A = this chain, B = another copy of it.
Amino acid sequence: MSDPKPPQTTPQTTPMQHALAQAEAARARGEVPVGAVITDAKGLVIAANGNRIIEHADPTAHAEMLVIREATKVLKNERLVDCNLYVTLEPCPMCAGAISLARIKRLYYGAADEKAGGAEHGVRLFSHPSCHHRPEIYGGIDETACATILREFFSAKR
Protein backbone atom coordinates (compact mmCIF):
# COMPACT_ATOMS: atom_id res chain seq x y z
CA MET A 1 0.00 0.00 0.00
CA SER A 2 1.36 3.37 -0.95
CA ASP A 3 1.76 6.18 1.52
CA PRO A 4 -1.23 8.48 1.85
CA LYS A 5 -1.09 11.42 -0.47
CA PRO A 6 0.47 14.56 0.98
CA PRO A 7 -2.05 17.29 1.72
CA GLN A 8 -3.10 19.12 -1.41
CA THR A 9 -1.02 22.25 -1.64
CA THR A 10 -2.58 25.50 -2.80
CA PRO A 11 -0.52 27.27 -5.41
CA GLN A 12 1.10 30.23 -3.72
CA THR A 13 0.22 33.66 -5.02
CA THR A 14 2.39 36.56 -4.01
CA PRO A 15 0.73 39.88 -3.19
CA MET A 16 2.20 41.42 -6.36
CA GLN A 17 0.77 38.58 -8.47
CA HIS A 18 -2.54 39.34 -6.79
CA ALA A 19 -2.11 43.03 -7.71
CA LEU A 20 -1.27 42.00 -11.29
CA ALA A 21 -4.51 40.04 -11.49
CA GLN A 22 -6.31 43.24 -10.44
CA ALA A 23 -4.45 45.10 -13.19
CA GLU A 24 -5.64 42.48 -15.71
CA ALA A 25 -9.20 42.91 -14.47
CA ALA A 26 -8.85 46.70 -14.85
CA ARG A 27 -7.66 46.23 -18.44
CA ALA A 28 -10.71 44.07 -19.14
CA ARG A 29 -12.85 47.01 -17.96
CA GLY A 30 -11.04 49.37 -20.36
CA GLU A 31 -9.12 51.04 -17.54
CA VAL A 32 -5.40 51.80 -17.49
CA PRO A 33 -4.20 48.44 -16.10
CA VAL A 34 -2.94 49.19 -12.61
CA GLY A 35 -3.75 46.96 -9.66
CA ALA A 36 -3.06 47.16 -5.95
CA VAL A 37 -3.47 45.12 -2.80
CA ILE A 38 -2.96 45.80 0.89
CA THR A 39 -1.76 43.15 3.29
CA ASP A 40 -2.24 43.26 7.05
CA ALA A 41 0.26 42.60 9.84
CA LYS A 42 0.03 38.83 9.15
CA GLY A 43 0.66 39.28 5.44
CA LEU A 44 -2.92 38.49 4.48
CA VAL A 45 -4.52 40.42 1.63
CA ILE A 46 -7.28 42.56 3.14
CA ALA A 47 -8.04 44.78 0.12
CA ALA A 48 -7.54 44.35 -3.62
CA ASN A 49 -8.64 46.55 -6.48
CA GLY A 50 -7.70 48.05 -9.81
CA ASN A 51 -8.22 51.44 -11.43
CA ARG A 52 -11.89 52.40 -11.73
CA ILE A 53 -11.50 55.93 -13.11
CA ILE A 54 -13.75 55.40 -16.14
CA GLU A 55 -16.23 53.17 -14.32
CA HIS A 56 -16.72 55.70 -11.52
CA ALA A 57 -16.10 58.79 -13.73
CA ASP A 58 -13.75 59.72 -10.90
CA PRO A 59 -10.17 60.90 -11.46
CA THR A 60 -9.27 59.88 -7.90
CA ALA A 61 -10.32 56.24 -8.38
CA HIS A 62 -6.75 55.00 -8.65
CA ALA A 63 -6.13 51.44 -7.47
CA GLU A 64 -4.14 52.65 -4.45
CA MET A 65 -6.85 55.03 -3.25
CA LEU A 66 -9.49 52.32 -3.53
CA VAL A 67 -7.50 49.74 -1.56
CA ILE A 68 -6.56 52.26 1.13
CA ARG A 69 -10.23 53.10 1.62
CA GLU A 70 -11.18 49.41 1.56
CA ALA A 71 -8.49 48.48 4.10
CA THR A 72 -9.48 51.22 6.54
CA LYS A 73 -13.06 49.91 6.35
CA VAL A 74 -11.90 46.33 6.98
CA LEU A 75 -9.73 47.32 9.94
CA LYS A 76 -12.11 50.06 11.12
CA ASN A 77 -9.06 52.23 11.56
CA GLU A 78 -7.93 55.27 9.60
CA ARG A 79 -4.29 54.30 10.14
CA LEU A 80 -2.85 51.26 8.40
CA VAL A 81 0.28 51.18 10.53
CA ASP A 82 1.24 47.52 10.10
CA CYS A 83 0.01 47.22 6.54
CA ASN A 84 1.93 46.97 3.30
CA LEU A 85 0.74 48.22 -0.08
CA TYR A 86 1.65 46.45 -3.33
CA VAL A 87 0.92 48.26 -6.58
CA THR A 88 1.90 47.41 -10.15
CA LEU A 89 2.90 51.01 -10.99
CA GLU A 90 4.77 53.64 -8.99
CA PRO A 91 2.15 55.81 -7.22
CA CYS A 92 1.35 59.31 -8.46
CA PRO A 93 1.64 62.28 -6.03
CA MET A 94 -2.02 61.97 -4.96
CA CYS A 95 -1.60 58.31 -4.08
CA ALA A 96 1.80 58.88 -2.48
CA GLY A 97 0.12 61.51 -0.29
CA ALA A 98 -2.61 59.07 0.66
CA ILE A 99 -0.04 56.36 1.46
CA SER A 100 1.70 58.78 3.79
CA LEU A 101 -1.55 59.90 5.46
CA ALA A 102 -2.57 56.25 5.94
CA ARG A 103 0.77 55.44 7.60
CA ILE A 104 1.40 52.47 5.29
CA LYS A 105 4.49 50.59 6.53
CA ARG A 106 6.00 49.34 3.28
CA LEU A 107 5.33 50.27 -0.32
CA TYR A 108 6.16 47.69 -2.98
CA TYR A 109 5.72 48.76 -6.57
CA GLY A 110 6.31 47.14 -9.94
CA ALA A 111 7.02 49.47 -12.85
CA ALA A 112 8.60 52.86 -12.29
CA ASP A 113 6.67 55.86 -13.62
CA GLU A 114 9.19 58.42 -14.79
CA LYS A 115 6.51 60.76 -16.16
CA ALA A 116 3.76 60.76 -13.55
CA GLY A 117 5.25 59.00 -10.53
CA GLY A 118 5.48 60.83 -7.22
CA ALA A 119 7.32 58.35 -5.00
CA GLU A 120 10.76 58.03 -6.57
CA HIS A 121 10.20 60.38 -9.50
CA GLY A 122 8.66 63.85 -9.92
CA VAL A 123 8.09 65.51 -6.55
CA ARG A 124 9.54 62.44 -4.72
CA LEU A 125 7.03 63.13 -2.00
CA PHE A 126 8.42 60.77 0.61
CA SER A 127 11.89 62.31 0.42
CA HIS A 128 10.61 65.83 0.99
CA PRO A 129 11.23 67.26 4.48
CA SER A 130 7.53 68.20 4.74
CA CYS A 131 6.49 64.53 4.50
CA HIS A 132 5.32 63.34 7.92
CA HIS A 133 5.38 59.60 7.25
CA ARG A 134 7.64 57.80 4.81
CA PRO A 135 7.04 54.11 4.11
CA GLU A 136 9.90 51.76 3.34
CA ILE A 137 9.96 51.61 -0.48
CA TYR A 138 10.80 48.62 -2.66
CA GLY A 139 10.50 49.25 -6.42
CA GLY A 140 10.91 46.91 -9.38
CA ILE A 141 8.89 43.99 -7.95
CA ASP A 142 7.76 41.79 -10.88
CA GLU A 143 8.75 44.81 -12.95
CA THR A 144 8.63 43.14 -16.36
CA ALA A 145 5.10 41.80 -15.95
CA CYS A 146 3.87 45.08 -14.43
CA ALA A 147 5.40 47.18 -17.22
CA THR A 148 4.37 44.82 -20.03
CA ILE A 149 0.66 44.99 -19.27
CA LEU A 150 0.83 48.80 -19.35
CA ARG A 151 2.91 48.93 -22.53
CA GLU A 152 0.57 46.53 -24.32
CA PHE A 153 -2.45 48.57 -23.19
CA PHE A 154 -1.07 51.84 -24.53
CA SER A 155 0.24 50.23 -27.75
CA ALA A 156 -3.26 48.91 -28.47
CA LYS A 157 -4.70 52.41 -27.87
CA ARG A 158 -2.47 54.02 -30.50
Q: Name A's B-contacting residues (CB within 8 A).
A: 53-54, 56-60, 65, 68-69, 72-73, 76-79, 92-98, 100-103, 115-116, 118, 121-123, 125, 128, 130-132
Given contacts A94-B96, A94-B98, A97-B118, could you give 18 more A-B pairs where the C-beta distance is less than 8 Å? A56-B78, A57-B73, A58-B72, A58-B73, A59-B68, A59-B79, A60-B68, A60-B98, A92-B97, A93-B96, A93-B97, A93-B118, A94-B95, A94-B101, A96-B97, A115-B130, A116-B132, A123-B125
Q: Which of A68, A72, A123 has the most CB of B within 10 A?
A: A123
- How long is the Cα–Cα vector from A72 to B54 in the complex, in angstroms? 11
Q: Which residues of B contact A60 (CB under 8 A)?
A: 65, 68-69, 98, 101-102
Q: Nearest residue in B to A132 (C-beta to C-beta)? A: B116
Given contacts A115-B130, A125-B93, contact A76 B57 (CB under 8 A): yes
What residues on B are CB-neighbors of A130 within 8 Å?
Answer: 115-116, 118, 121-123
A74–B18 Cα distance when bound, in Å, is 33
- A132 to chain B: which residues have CB within 8 Å? 116
Across the interface, A78 reaches (CB within 8 A) one of B59, B78, B93, B98, namely B59
Instruction: Return the contact of A57 from the options B77, B93, B100, B116 (Cβ within 8 A).
Output: B77
Query: Which B residue sits closest to A124, measured CB to CB?
Result: B123
